[in-house]
């Protein structure tokens, strides 16, 4: 298992970011969903915990085959999704990808990342702490937009920005998103490579997403929680429709014809890495067949 603690500071308060985060996630998911891939929201509903109180539970399917490197695509089906389950008790959240075993625990505090013991009694080892600078760090070319460059960004509504050298020491307000990320992929020959790949991509997404939360500030600043929930619901419906319509077209395009029992059958396979079996749907065009889902080995990604 590879564990890292990411600390991402922003020129916001924790209270402001509650709105900004919801706005950013909805808009980012909508923008990134295309060609049958992206984020489909299955459940988004209130949830109450005896420990953390009232919160929000979400379950999402993330379709991302084309965004994976060739060495991963070589041993997974052409069409699959990863299920993300998240419990949001703001300012504490926890996201979990079952079976694939990625756990992201998050806490938000009004400081510049100076709390070394935010998750446990003992500090995270220094070598496992990664500060992500939304202004200075290089961003993956595919994510870069000039309008989201915080070195030149200026908020009309709040007067904040641009973020110059040492901005984390001088900015007011300032908050930090602390994220403890554990990635575990116990497949011999792939574990280290996959876990490192997961962390690299999580870091890239954290950098891009938090930059957007700040640079989209003038779009969400002043919205109430009710306003942003309405916005969230609207974009989730549009994104689900977008992903599903394109996914159906892709499913049809990728149908494989095989001979089973003398008949000609069309097989459309969709796989989740979170089930004990690999669900397959079979549409027979001729003849009949009794086909059971193929069980995976316990060590295989599910």
Give the tens place of pLDDT for each residue, 165-194: 999 999 999 999 999 999 988 777 888 988
H runs (alpha helix) in the chain: 14-32, 70-73, 167-170, 191-215, 217-220, 225-253
| Residue 300 domain-assigned (yes or no) | no
| pLDDT for 301 | 29
Name 123's Cβ contacts closer than 8 Å, sequence gap at least 6. 116, 117
Owning domain of residue 36: 2-244
Q: Are 179 and 288 found together in one domain?
A: no
Distance between CA atoms of residues 159 and 68, nearest Å: 39
More confidently predicted of 187 and 31: 31
H runs (alpha helix) in 107-253: 167-170, 191-215, 217-220, 225-253
Contacts made by residues 141-145, CB under 8 angstroms, sequence distance 24+:
143/204, 143/207, 143/208
Look at residue 159 and tell me whether its pLDDT is greater than 90. yes
Across 201-229, average pLDDT:
96
Q: Are 229 and 265 found together in one domain?
A: no
Domain count, the chain: 2
Q: Is the pTM of this model over 0.85?
A: no
Q: Using the 8-state DSSP alphabet, how is residue 150 labeled?
A: T
Q: Are 160 and 265 found together in one domain?
A: no
Name 176's Cβ contacts closer than 8 Å, sequence gap at least 6. 7, 8, 9, 10, 108, 109, 111, 112, 113, 114, 115
Residue written as token pair 């030149």:
152
Retrieve residue 136's tokens.
């200075």
Q: Are 225 and 200 found together in one domain?
A: yes
Distance between CA atoms of residues 44 and 189, nearest Å: 37
| Residue 302 domain-assigned (yes or no) | no
Distance between CA atoms of residues 231 and 119, nearest Å: 32
Confidence class of residue 124 from pLDDT cuts 50, 70 and 90?
very high
**Residue 241: Cβ within 10 Å count:** 12
Strand pairing partners for 267? 256, 282
What are the pLDDT digits (tens) for 261-298?
A: 233 322 232 333 333 333 322 222 233 333 333 333 23
Q: Are 113 and 148 found together in one domain?
A: yes
């Amino acid at each position: 298992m590879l564990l890292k603690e990411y600390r991402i500071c922003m020129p916001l308060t924790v209270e402001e970011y509650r709105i900004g985060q919801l706005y950013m996630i909805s808009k980012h998911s909508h923008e990134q969903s295309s060609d049958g891939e992206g984020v489909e929201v299955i459940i988004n509903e209130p949830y109450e915990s005896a420990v953390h109180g009232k919160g929000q539970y979400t379950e999402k399917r993330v379709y991302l085959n084309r965004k994976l490197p060739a060495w991963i695509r070589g041993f997974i089906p052409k069409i699959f999704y990863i299920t993300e389950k998240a419990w949001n008790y703001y300012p504490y959240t926890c996201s979990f990808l079952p079976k694939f075993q990625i756990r992201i625990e998050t806490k938000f505090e009004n400081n510049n990342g100076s709390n070394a013991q935010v998750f446990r009694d003992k500090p995270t080892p220094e070598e496992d702490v990664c500060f992500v600078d939304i202004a200075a760090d290089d961003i993956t070319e595919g994510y870069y937009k000039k309008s989201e460059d915080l070195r030149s960004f200026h908020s009309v509504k709040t007067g904040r920005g641009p973020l110059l050298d040492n901005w984390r020491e001088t900015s007011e307000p300032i908050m930090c998103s602390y994220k403890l990320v554990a990635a575990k992929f116990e497949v011999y020959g792939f574990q280290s490579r996959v876990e490192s790949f997961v962390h690299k991509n999580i870091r890239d997404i954290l950098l891009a997403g938090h930059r957007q939360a700040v640079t989209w500030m003038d779009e969400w600043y002043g919205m109430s929680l009710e306003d942003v929930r309405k916005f969230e619901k609207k974009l989730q419906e549009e994104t689900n429709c977008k992903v599903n319509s394109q996914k159906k077209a892709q499913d049809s395009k990728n149908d494989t014809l095989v001979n089973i029992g003398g008949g000609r059958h069309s097989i459309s396979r969709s796989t989740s890495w979170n089930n004990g079996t690999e669900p397959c749907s079979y549409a027979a065009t001729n003849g009949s067949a009794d086909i059971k889902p193929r069980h995976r080995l316990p060590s295989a990604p599910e």
